[in-house]
């Protein structure tokens, strides 16, 4: 580790923070944590964008060449943030008095989370890239570019075989987005070589950013400090989340962070009408396709939900009924099947071959896959991937369902996640992807992508929950929330 590598961390982080502060100047509760969390994600994506432009002909100098593009962004964003925050005052909040056992319990949870983070950091620091999908798919392009010291195109196997050019390459994941590849190249060039522990450390930073961003936004949405920390522990201690940090190299954690941050920003817009948060939600949706193929689906869902939420109430019913009718009509006929961008001609379910059209190809070929249901149930409820998350979800919904009825800013994100969960169920129970449910592979990775947003909705349902108390003629006061009409 050298000075260049340290600067390669500090520059995108500081740039992302000031970009967020310039875009969202409101100093609400938890704003510092929110700035750090969102700032890390935005800074890394700015690095990827500038490196893909400035370092194509000299990949080994990616961090140096892209830095000259990043510095003006930092200066301009810092000036805007300074001007927009001039005179702003931090919010004041009355402290909640905790008993000794409550303090001890909270300290134990945070200490446990810190120990988990230390163990994950050790795994990332001491191990090379794990020889699975991250090694065989995601790292092939950036490592090739780094060793060649310049960008070369990757094409499909048929195109590679039929081409007379010698500068074309191929791999199984040739069509995957390149954002993570350029992030890895940024750190590899700063480290002075393809040193995998140093290249994989951003996944640990992303895990921390995920927790900070969610904590800050939960506080801004009205949750008290103690309850927000409890849910930070609940989110950060999920086993599969930790695995995707320790076995760094996959894109799913990045998609989960981007989607979760987008849903949080949208919720702040719905609750507080902060226009800057609406723009941030749209930005988070637009970056998802740049991270992974599934990002197209989640981006469409999030953008569709934002558009649906912007409709007048009377129009929402018409759109919802129309969508339900369309689903009921299409589903028995076969429904939708999503293929890869530019996948060319490929076999679907072993029987149909169609050309991919743009980012999505529609195929009417759905039927029930009986063997997948057991795998899906075991994955969610029996295996130690999610603790008790999926057991607690129905209990919380039954207990707090009135919150969904009363609060529009809770109901709309819950409907969004219902649509996302429905799409996943259709994918794994009615398409050829059922094999991934039976093998317990992709089903976990795809579910992970919506889990932070899922935890957010559950956390907001419990933000002011109280255990039933003996009747005393008084009703506990709620924290004030202003829902849009």
Contact call for residues 134 and 247 (beta carbons, < 8 A): yes
Beta strand pairing call for 352-355 and 345-348: antiparallel
- The residue behind tokens 């018409």 is 318
What is the pLDDT, as a whole number, of residue 1?
A: 72
322 pLDDT more than 90 = no
175 pLDDT more than 50 = yes
| Dist. CA 443–CA 93, nearest whole Å | 42
166 pLDDT more than 80 = no
| Dist. CA 274–CA 24, nearest whole Å | 8
356 pLDDT more than 60 = no
83 pLDDT more than 80 = yes
Q: Side-chain half-sphere of 121: how many Cα atoms within 13 Å?
A: 9
Quick one: average pLDDT of 450-462?
96
Q: Which range, 151-160, 190-199, 354-363, has the best average confidence (pLDDT)?
A: 190-199
Question: For residue 36, what are its two tokens?
Answer: 């750090």
Of the candidates 360, 377, 353, the residue with the CA atom closest to the CA atom of residue 438: 377
CA angle, 355 then 359 then 362, to 5°: 55
What is the pLDDT, as a whole number, of residue 365?
A: 57
pTM check: above 0.75: yes
471 pLDDT more than 70 = no
Task: Label residue 375 by pLDDT band (50, 70, 90).
Answer: confident
Task: Label residue 479 by pLDDT band (50, 70, 90).
Answer: very low
What is the pLDDT, as a whole number, of residue 485?
A: 33
Question: For residue 279, what are its two tokens?
Answer: 């723009």
| Dist. CA 141–CA 82, nearest whole Å | 39
Task: Label residue 132 by pLDDT band (50, 70, 90).
Answer: confident
What is the pLDDT, as a whole number, of residue 362?
A: 42
What is the pLDDT, as a whole number, of residue 419?
A: 93
| Dist. CA 59–CA 141, nearest whole Å | 12
Contact call for residues 29 and 92 (beta carbons, < 8 A): no
134 pLDDT more than 90 = no
What is the pLDDT, as a whole number, of residue 137?
A: 87
User: 212 or 338, which is more confident?
Assistant: 212
* DSSP state, residue 92: P
Question: For residue 163, what are its two tokens?
Answer: 């081409």
What is the pLDDT, as a whole number, of residue 258?
A: 97
482 pLDDT more than 80 = no
| Dist. CA 387–CA 392, nearest whole Å | 10
Question: For residue 391, what are its two tokens?
Answer: 């057991």
Task: Label residue 478 by pLDDT band (50, 70, 90).
Answer: very low
What is the pLDDT, as a whole number, of residue 483?
A: 42
| Dist. CA 424–CA 338, nearest whole Å | 12
**C-alpha distances in Å from residue 138, one per residue of 178, 322, 400, 445, 456:** 9, 40, 41, 15, 29
What is the pLDDT, as a whole number, of residue 470?
A: 44
Contact call for residues 461 and 410 (beta carbons, < 8 A): yes
247 φ/ψ sector (left φ>0, alpha ψ -120 to 50, else beta):
beta
Task: Label residue 336 by pLDDT band (50, 70, 90).
Answer: very low
Question: For residue 378, what are its two tokens?
Answer: 């075991």
**Per-chain mean pLDDT for the chain:** 85
395 pLDDT more than 90 = yes
Helix or strand (DSSP H, E) at 338: none
- Count other Cβ atoms within 10 Å, centred on residue 359: 17
* Domain boundaries, given as residue ranges, for the chain: 1-83+102-250
Query: Residues 207-248: pLDDT tens digits?
Result: 999 999 999 999 999 999 999 999 999 999 999 999 999 999
What single string gives the DSSP state of each residue in 5-47?
A: HHHHHHHHHHHHHHHHHHH-----TTHHHHHHHHHHHHHHHHH
CA angle, 371 then 372 then 375, to 5°: 105
């Amino acid at each position: 580790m050298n000075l260049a590598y340290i600067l390669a961390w500090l520059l995108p982080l500081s740039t992302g923070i000031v970009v967020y502060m310039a875009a969202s100047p409101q100093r609400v509760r938890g704003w510092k944590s929110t700035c750090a969390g969102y700032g890390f994600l935005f800074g890394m994506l700015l690095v990827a964008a500038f490196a893909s432009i400035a370092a194509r002909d000299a990949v080994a100098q990616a961090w140096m060449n892209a830095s000259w593009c990043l510095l003006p962004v930092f200066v301009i964003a810092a000036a805007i943030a300074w001007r927009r925050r001039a005179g702003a005052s931090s919010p004041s909040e009355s402290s909640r008095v905790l008993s000794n056992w409550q303090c001890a319990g909270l300290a134990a949870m945070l200490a446990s989370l810190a120990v988990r983070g230390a163990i994950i950091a050790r795994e990332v620091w001491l191990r090379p890239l794990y020889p699975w999908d991250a090694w065989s798919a995601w790292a092939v392009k950036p490592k090739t570019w780094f060793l060649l010291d310049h960008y070369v195109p990757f094409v499909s196997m048929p195109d590679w075989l039929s081409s007379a050019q010698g500068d074309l390459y191929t791999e199984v994941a040739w069509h995957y987005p390149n954002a993570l590849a350029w992030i890895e190249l940024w750190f590899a060039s700063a480290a002075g070589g393809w040193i995998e522990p140093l290249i994989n450390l951003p996944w640990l930073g992303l895990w921390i950013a995920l927790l900070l961003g969610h904590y800050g936004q939960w506080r801004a949405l009205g949750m008290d400090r103690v309850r927000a920390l409890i849910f930070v522990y609940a989110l950060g201690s999920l086993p599969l989340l930790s695995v995707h940090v320790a076995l760094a190299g996959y894109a799913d954690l990045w998609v989960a962070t981007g989607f979760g941050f987008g849903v949080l920003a949208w919720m702040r817009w719905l609750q507080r009408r902060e226009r800057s948060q609406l723009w941030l939600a749209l930005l988070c949706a637009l970056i998802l396709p740049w991270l992974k193929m599934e990002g197209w689906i989640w981006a469409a869902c999030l953008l569709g939900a934002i558009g649906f939420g912007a409709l007048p109430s009377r129009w929402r019913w018409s759109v919802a009924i129309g969508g339900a009718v369309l689903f009921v009509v299409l589903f028995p006929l076969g429904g939708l099947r999503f293929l890869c961008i530019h996948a060319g001609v490929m076999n679907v379910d072993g029987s149909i071959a169609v050309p991919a059209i743009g980012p999505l190809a529609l195929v009417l070929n759905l039927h029930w896959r009986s063997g997948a249901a057991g795998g899906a149930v075991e994955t969610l409820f029996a295996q130690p991937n999610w603790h008790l998350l999926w057991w607690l979800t129905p209990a919380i919904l039954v207990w707090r369902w009135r919150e969904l009825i009363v609060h529009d800013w809770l109901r709309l994100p819950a409907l969004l996640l219902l649509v996302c969960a429905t799409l996943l169920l259709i994918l794994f129970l009615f398409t050829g992807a059922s094999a991934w449910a039976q093998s317990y592979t992709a089903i976990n990775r795809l579910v992970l992508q919506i889990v932070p947003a899922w935890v957010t909705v559950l956390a907001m349902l419990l933000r002011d929950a109280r255990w039933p108390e003996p009747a005393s003629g008084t009703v506990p006061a709620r924290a004030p929330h202003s829902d849009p009409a």
